[in-house]
Structure 1
Amino acid sequence: MEFYGRNTLHGFMDDENGSTQSPPRLSIRSHLDMYEQDLQFSPGRTSSPRASATMHSVLPPGSPESPWTLSPLQTPSPALLYHCIASLHRQEGNIYSIGLSKGLVFTGSDSNRIRAWRQPDCTERGYIKASSGEVRAIFAYGNMLFSTHRDCKIRIWNYTVTDNFKFKKISTLPKRSSFLLFPKTSSQQHKDCVSCMAYYHAEGLLYTGSYDRTVKAWRLLDKKCVDSFVAHESNVNAIVVNQDDGCVFTCSSDGSVKIWRRVYREISHTLTMTLKFQQSPVNALALSTTFNNCFLYSGSSDGTINFWEKEKMSGRFNHGGFLQGHRFAVLCLAAIEKLIFSGSEDTTIRVWRREEGSCFHECLAVLDGHRGPVRCLAASLEMEKIVMGFLVYSASLDQTFKVWRVKVMPEEKLCFDFADRNDSKSTKTMEYEMSPVLSPSWVEKKLQGNHFQ
């Protein structure tokens, strides 16, 4: 177990233009390409003993009577139990995004189908077939589902779940009429892959971020693009909205996180803060808001998760520290209650808990069942009498979709001091040795030219 607070960031900053490029600086697209190439590796290729030994491990063994697994971290008390309740594999390519709403789980992939699964057992309820190619991003809210596709447009679907799963396409953004009138000059059309979406409930505004570096705001009432602005110097990889005040957070491969606010009584947006603490691409964002606190988390290609805490009086976000434990890039994040779930290129999912009333975080568990980079995550709450339960959905570039049930014991008062917290570094080193790895050729590619501390 490790705690992190207000510390100096230690990243792996290699020369990007050198003879060997640092893997932690790769973009998400590069991670995808790299793993797809790795699937073609020769089975006869030699590997290190550690890589061979860990290739076939799935989960730490539990007791014969129960599928539940204790957290592999040596915590003072068993704070977390977990087990994988479903593992699905379909020959439809990579899953790029997961959406949750109304007891359903939606997945978007390389295929042109958006599949709907029932929570929590992931029995398939049906699918939506689009005619516009692969589904790059999806977002669900209420009975609405938003999806982005290869043609750089956004589809809005309405669905109902009774005995059968039924759906209907409501609209395409931008609307076909305006696109035909201005096929090349219309500012309503994204010019590259629409990589992420967020929805501001109070105003009915859908935000989309794209590899064309822009963010667009769509008013669903009249299906119009009401604002469009260049947000970053490179790909926009993730976007989230604070439902309390409407602030928009974006991150990019340019290494920055930006905060945008709507101009008073207008629909345009203005930049209020730029948060930049490293040079590595920022791949993922998550916002954790409670009655007293608001924390912003960002996952980077150097393997770290930076977090910022919002000041109650000024509303500014101050850097609170970073969470370090992943060996390779952090590709996705999900936050719920005081827990943060992080998915990484190192094939693992880490579960972090924020200590009440402070900036300190502890890593409760490492979920290690995937055989490829964990590309997307989603989480939902399951309330029980004593423990707090969560359902975690993960998809990997190994083309599997997994469902985890996680139970977190009530938070105990931590009576040990900071010296005790720092004594657990040996546990972290051992844990790295136990972590699953990808194929030997993938490991060789990642370690080439890098020296992990």
Structure 2
Amino acid sequence: MDRQLNHKKSLSCFFDEDFTEDQSPSFQHLSKHNQNFLARLHGTHFYPDTSPMMSQSPESSWSPSPSLTPSHPSLLYCCISSLRRDGDIYSLTVFGDLVLTGSSSRRVYAWQSLDCHAKGYIQSSSGEVRAMQVYDDMLFTAHKDHKIRIWNMRTCSGSFRARKVLTLPCASHFKSFICRSVVPHHRLTANKPITPQHRDIISCMAFYYVESILYTGSFDKTIKAWKLSVKKCIDSFVAHGDHINDMVVNQQSGYLFTCSSDGTVKMWLRVYGEHSHVLIKVFSFHTYPIYALALGVSPSQRSFLYSGSSDGCINFWVQEISTHYNHGGVLEGHQFAVLCLVTLDNLVISGSEDSTIRIWRREKIRFTHESLAVLEGHRGPVRCLAASLQDELVTSFLVYSASLDQTFKVWRVKLL
């Protein structure tokens, strides 16, 4: 097994001056509900009636969850910041005490997590930022030109700085590339060269830091695995029958989970000693498109896989032994599609097309779930979420949300 990437040594030699003009990708509508918002979710043009502006949220007091008895709430929350920026926000990630937002404005903004003061931004000439991933001091961004940029981040005197160190695929990568399909019964001829670049929107990313492999999923139905130490794609395969919408990787086992508009969740694993990946299991509970995935891990290292679908439901699976996952049940509450999911200890946070955010708590022994809160404030579909702890006991945490109403909000949540 490859050792973890030595960032200080490797990042310094990744410098790449690559500039590519934007290309026009193809898109597909998510659903027929709320066409104006959802058209922008998939990138079609939309012009708001008013010009973009930045505004602070009105004062907000602590509120008990409406799903609980008002006299004995177990959770309190309030919106502490709300910003409106120029462009739709497609991706969120947390870097230390900063939260980063990627949008259609071609910029990645860095905000102070509590007060949302701007700390700097990354300017890109490669189009909207559709997906982001952070590990250590590295930021991975996916752009409209179907390429990935890797940035070295740092904070200096309270400001945010980032330097681009690599673009994938590299120019030299197009000269020679060997790809082996891992889809059963549909393998490509050995040594058949194909282009390493995605042919449509890169919708999601996951970084397996144990082996320094970056996974990317695309609307072109393929998954690509990028080995950072050699700066190239080591495997590429057709994974689903429709758009790939999200992916997560289990850092303990190396299992990669992907979901698609074809209504399935799939589990993959890299073959030991090789670059190719094999399909381990298909989770197919219904035929509704699946838009979001999240992976939770208990103190006993048992994992819980959550998927959000277009019917507003969240299905979850409980790991029993190694590759064996049992369907644990369904979380119901959202009225429309679940577009994003994050986990925090035994908490699950979901954002929906119905403009709400729900917080769920998993019982640590029986694995049942209860709805703790419904966070309301957005006026459009909640496109992406992130969360960070404020204490080690998971009694206070922050939730970051971005909606297709072009607002970014920060919520402070306290468990009582």
Shorter-chain TM-score: what band?
0.7 to 0.9
Match of 2:129 among 117, 135, 138: 135
1:3 is matched with which residue? none
Percent of aligned pairs sharing the same letter: 55
Q: How many angstroms apart in 2 are the aligned matches of 1:356 and 1:206?
A: 31
TM-score (norm 2): 0.82
What is residue 410 of structure 2 aligned with on the other side?
403
1:31 to partner: Cα distance: 7.1
The offset of 1:29, in angstroms, is 6.0
Kindly indicate whether the alpha-carbon contact (under 8 Å) linking 1:35 and 1:397 is maintained by their aligned counterparts in 2. Answer: no
Which residue of 290, 303, 306 corresponds with 1:294? 303
Structure-2 residue corresponding to 1:204: 212
Give the aligned residue type for 1:295. Answer: F
Q: Distance in 2 between matches of 1:33 and 1:240?
A: 21
The corresponding residue for 2:376 is 368
Letter in 2 for 1:356: K
Counterpart position of 2:78: 83
- Partners of 1:102 and 1:142 within 8 A in 2: no
Q: Is 1:252 the equivalent of 2:246?
A: no
Q: Show the counterpart of 1:388.
A: 395
State how far apart, in whole Å, the 2-side matches of 1:186 and 1:165 are.
38
- Of 303, 307, 319, 2:312 maps to 303
Q: Post-superposition shift, 1:307?
A: 0.3
CA contact (8 A) 2:40 2:404 kept: no
Letter paired with 1:79:
S
Count of aligned residue pairs for this structure pair: 362
Distance 2:78 2:283 in 1: 36
C-alpha deviation, 1:38, in angstroms: 10
Q: How does 1:19-418 map to 2 (within 5 A)?
A: 23=32, 30=39, 32=41, 67-75=61-69, 77-91=72-86, 93-163=87-157, 164-179=159-174, 186-292=194-300, 293-311=302-320, 313-383=321-391, 388-409=395-416
Does the C-alpha gap of structure 1 residues 248 and 314 become closer, same or farther in structure 2, counting only changes over 3 Å? closer
Deviations 1:368-400 (A, max 9, x none): 010000000001111177x71111000000000
Change (3 A) 1:306 1:316: same
Write the distance in 2 (CA, Å) between the matches of 1:294 and 1:370: 31
Q: Secondary structure at the match of 2:41?
A: helix
**SS at structure 2 position matched to 1:192:** coil
Q: Give per-residue Cα distances to partners, 1:29-50, cap 9 Å, x unaligned.
A: 6573699769669xxxxxxxxx
Distance 1:336 1:305, change over 3 A: same
| TM score, norm. by length of structure 1 | 0.75
Deviations 1:323-380 (A, max 9, x none): 0100000000000100000000000000000011113100000000100000000011
Distance change >3 Å, CA 350–CA 224, structure 1 → 2: same
Q: Which has the higher helix share?
A: 1
Q: Which has the larger radius of gyration?
A: 1
Q: Structure 2 CA distance, aligned partners of 1:36 and 1:355?
A: 43
- What is the CA distance between 1:177 and its match in structure 2? 2.1
The SS at the match of 1:362 is strand
CA distance in 1, matches of 2:263, 2:413: 32
1-side partners of 2:44 and 2:274: how far apart?
Answer: 45
The one-letter code matched in structure 2 to 1:395 is A
- Taking a change above 3 Å as real, the CA distance of residues 265 and 320 of structure 1, as seen in their structure-2 partners, is same
- Letter of the aligned partner of 1:388 in structure 2? T
Aligned counterparts of 2:31 and 2:134: Cα–Cα separation in 1? 36
- Paired residue secondary structure (2:390): strand
Change in Cα spacing, 1:130 to 1:33, as seen in structure 2 (3 Å) is closer
Superimposed CA distance per residue, residues 35-82 of structure 1 (whole angstroms, 9 cap, x where no aligned partner): 9769669xxxxxxxxxxxxxxxx99x98xxxx2111111348311010
